[in-house]
A = this chain, B = another copy of it.
Amino acid sequence: MSPANVTIDCLQYCNWSRTIFEQMREGGLDAVHVTICYHEDFRQTAANIADWNRRFQYYDELIMPGRSALDVSAAQASNRTAIYFGFQNCSPIEADIGLVEICHQLGARFMQLSYNNQSLLATGCYEDDDPGITRMGRQVIAEMNRVGLVVDMSHSAERSTLEAIEISSRPIAITHANPYSWHPALRNKSNTVLKALSESGGMIGFSLYPHHLRDGSRCTLQSFCEMIADMAERIGIEHIGIGSDLCQDQPDSVVEWMRNGRWTTDRDFGEGSADAPGFPEQPSWFKDSRDFPNLVAGLKKVGFDGESIAAVMGNNWLRFFESAFSRT
Contact = CB atoms under 8 A, between A and B. Distances in A.
Interface of A: 42-43, 46-47, 49-51, 53-54, 96, 98-99, 101-102, 105-107
A39 B218 CA distance: 57
Contact of A96 (B47, B99, B105): B47
A49 B100 CA distance: 12
Nearest to A100: B50
Nearest to A54: B98
Contact of A43 (B42, B50, B105): B42
A53 B106 contact: no
A42 B53 contact: no
A96 B49 CA distance: 12
Given A43-B42, A43-B43, A106 B98 contact: no
A84 to B, nearest CB: 15
Contacts of A42: 43, 46
Tallying the copies of this chain within the complex gives: 2
Contacts of A53: 98, 101-102
A46 B53 CA distance: 18
Interface centre among A46, A51, A99, A106 (most CB of B within 10 A): A46
Contacts of A50: 96, 98-99, 101-102
A301 B53 CA distance: 51
Contacts of A101: 50, 53
Contact of A102 (B96, B98, B106): B106
B51 A98 contact: yes
14 contacts: A42-B43, A42-B46, A46-B46, A46-B98, A46-B99, A47-B96, A49-B102, A50-B96, A50-B98, A50-B101, A53-B101, A53-B102, A102-B106, A105-B107
A9 B47 CA distance: 33
A101 B50 CA distance: 7
A46 B98 CA distance: 9
Nearest to A106: B105
A99 B106 CA distance: 11
A274 to B, nearest CB: 38
A62 B8 CA distance: 41
Contacts of A102: 46, 49-50, 53, 106
Nearest to A104: B53
